[in-house]
Amino acid sequence: MTATAHASEHSPAGGSARLAPARLDATVVRRDFPILMAPHDGRRLVYLDSASSSQRPQQVLDAMDHYYATTHANVHRGVYAIAEEATRLYEAARHKAGRYVNAPDPAREVVFAKNATEAINLVAYSAGRHLIGPDKAVVSTEMEHHANIVPWLMLHEERGNELRYLPLTEDFRLDLTDLERLVDGAGIVAVSAMSNVLGTINDLAPIVEAAHAAGALVVCDASQLAPHRHVDVQALGVDFLAFTSHKMLGPTGLGVLWGRAELLDAMPPFLGGGEMIRDVRLDGFVPNEIPWKFEAGTQPIAEAIGLASAIDYLEMLGLEAIEAHEVELTRFAIETLRADHGDDLTIFGPEPDPVGRGAVVSIGYAGIHPHDLAQVLDSSGVCVRAGHHCAKPLMRRLGVAATARASFYVYNDEDDICALSSALRSAKELFG
Amino acid sequence: MSGLEDLYREIILDHYRSPRNRGELEVPPAHRVEGFNPLCGDEVVVYLHVDGDTVSDVKIAGQGCSISQSSASMMSAAVKGRSVSEARGLIRSFKAMMSIHEQSIGGPGTGSDGHDGESPDLSDPSQLLEGDGLGELAALQGVVKFPVRIKCATLSWNTLAQALDEVEAGTPSQ
């Protein structure tokens, strides 16, 4: 077992004497990530873009390689031994993904897709076009990633559903003042669990309550939250939830859609082909039962196994330990950046807040375009994302064309923050 | 900061801090074309006034990174007062300089300035560009080492080309 000294303490189930979560030691965690251990241009890689895509621990790489080297066969098709084993592993990955978000019935309610974007498109297509009428509004928010805006815009353009948006407050949170009026007559409310730009973690409870009272379904984009915090679809009360493997230490090419069984049952298929059918004649077909109704063609089997391994890794570290680590790191980052750069720096996002704010920090720097900022940071081995982060409506709302964004995960530590701050100083010297 | 001195040469920073020809022109008779870099939000607005065959005036508006804005500034200085065909030639030459990277066999890091025995015509950017706007424009050659930024550098040139197209098509100024 690789050297990872974490999560050795757990609170007794339901016990009152909760131990503090074991602290995650990012220096130790890093050792599991080959890309972070290799020098890049002779330098340590300071990877601060996990909100865009996270890195893979050796365990995940090994799991996928091992599968390909020993067990690979197509699933649900073969009778021979390795096909049985491949099928078992694939379905076990489905169960694991479902349990990760506390799905009541993982065997039926978890659909694998190509990514979270495809998962949301699936809902927009199958539910948006077939479960609700064109007279029903769709409510999204000003902070959404394009993945949770464009599919609804497409629905609007195609069928005429009115599109409304929950606005933002001055302190970068959702403004719920007009919530009841906005959900009145809505069929779908599409909201992210956490903003990929602001770091805001949304309190979904009032939104879910209002949506359900108005008869609307809630589609939650949990791409940013699921890798970092406990997500519990039962506690949240949402109707659909999407997240993605590559943001949570798993491989690219795999997204997860959780949906209520009765809704998935009522929805028509999204893509057509093999696997999603029970019978095909020349004049018609009978779709398969859920979840396979929504998985057309050969799925990313190895990737599902990779995701299962990634979930194992995260659970080995402990979600509480990850949360505590990131809360502390985010606070340290915001304090350090403010102390080192003062008024030169604008932070787009709420103040440090263990419950309401995640480890994503978007900044503007006086007189330096985010693109140039990211370029200078790159020359110091610091990787941040610069641009509109697939959230152009949010950029407009913030009054900027772009921001530079640093995001933290299990392998980042305070040294990374100091490297970031120091590189920002270099940028100021170059452009100042 | 390895390599950065190739990208952020002093003249580029100068044009970024003190961009030339900033402003607007009255439309019509001038033409106004907007260019966007969808990846990062760079925006260049080119106001172009063509009198007969001459680019009599050009103004630049918009906002974005130092490469996009300094390139726009240098472009404006290079084409102002030139004939339309000279302006077209400058666009071609500049874009050819930006695509040296793609045409060289070795890819990034092939020689310090993209010298490539396979395509002698393009290996020396100073031969590509006519006139005395050249010296400044050649400063952007370092961008080819940072392929992601090539679109920043060419944004204003593509926008200018579009504006020239509008003029020649007799499209009414918008």
Instruction: Identify the residue whose tokens are 């007969």.
Output: B52
Of A315, A304, A236, the C-alpha closest to A76 is A304
| DSSP-derived secondary structure letter, A294 | G
* Contact at CB, B65 and A380, closer than 8 angstroms: no
Complete DSSP assignment for B35-53: EEETTTTEEEEEEEEEETT
- Residue A99 located in a structural domain: yes
What pLDDT does B138 receive?
87
Q: In Å, how far is A51's CA from the nearest CA of chain B?
A: 17
Does ipTM come in above 0.95?
no
- Residue A10 located in a structural domain: no
Same domain membership, residue A325 and residue A227: no
Nearest chain A alpha carbon to B2:
A379
Range of the domain at B117: 4-169
Distance between CA atoms of A137 and A133, rounded to whole angstroms? 9
Among residues A271, A297, A315, the one where a domain terminates is A315
Instruction: Identify the residue whose tokens are 């950029």.
Output: A395
* Contact at CB, B65 and A387, closer than 8 angstroms: no
- Residue A292 located in a structural domain: yes
pLDDT digits (tens, 9 = 90+) for A278-316: 999 999 999 999 999 999 999 999 999 999 999 999 999
Nearest chain B alpha carbon to A390:
B39
**Per-residue pLDDT averaged across A202-217, rounded?**
98
Distance between CA atoms of A413 and A326, rounded to whole angstroms? 9
- Residue B174 located in a structural domain: no
Distances (CA, A) of A322 to A25, A29, A316: 10, 11, 10
Q: In Å, how far is B110's CA from the nearest CA of chain A?
A: 17
| DSSP-derived secondary structure letter, A102 | T
pLDDT digits (tens, 9 = 90+) for A61-114: 999 999 999 999 999 988 899 999 999 999 999 999 999 999 999 999 999 999
Tell me the β-bridge partners of B58: B48
Which CATH number belongs to the domain containing residue A75 in this structure? 3.40.640.10
Given a contact cutoff of 8 angstroms between Cβ atoms, the answer to whether B7 and B142 are in contact is yes
Give the DSSP H or E segment for A382: strand A382-383
pLDDT digits (tens, 9 = 90+) for A382-403: 999 999 999 999 999 999 989 9
Query: What strands lie across the sheet with A137-141, from one edge to the other?
Result: A110-113, A255-259, A240-244, A217-221, A186-192, A137-141, A163-166
A302 conformational bin, left if phi > 0, alpha if psi -120 to 50, beta if neither? alpha
Answer whether residue B121 shows pLDDT above 90: no
Distance between CA atoms of A224 and A195, rounded to whole angstroms? 7
| Domain count of the fold of chain A | 2
List the beta strands (DSSP E) in A152-212.
163-166, 186-192
Measure CB to CB from residue B39 to each of A375, A387, A426 and give the nearest one.
Answer: A387
Contacting residues for A370 by C-beta, under 8 A, at least 6 apart:
A364, A386, A387, A402, A403, A404, B40, B65
Q: Are strands A217-221 and A240-244 parallel, antiparallel or unpaired?
A: parallel
Given a contact cutoff of 8 angstroms between Cβ atoms, the answer to whether B65 and B8 are in contact is no
Judge whether B67 is closer than 8 Å to chain A, CB to CB: yes
**Per-residue pLDDT averaged across B50-58, rounded?**
95
- Residue B9 located in a structural domain: yes
Judge whether A364 is closer than 8 Å to chain B, CB to CB: no
Query: What strands lie across the sheet with B54-61, from one edge to the other?
Result: B31-37, B42-51, B54-61
| Domain count of the fold of chain B | 1
Same domain membership, residue A325 and residue A184: no
Percent of chain A clearing pLDDT 90 (strictly above): 92
Range of the domain at A109: 61-315
Same domain membership, residue A194 and residue A262: yes
Q: Which residues of A touch B16 (CB under 8 A)?
A: 431
Which CATH number belongs to the domain containing residue B119 in this structure? 3.90.1010.10
Tell me the β-bridge partners of A284: A281
pTM beyond 0.90: the answer is no
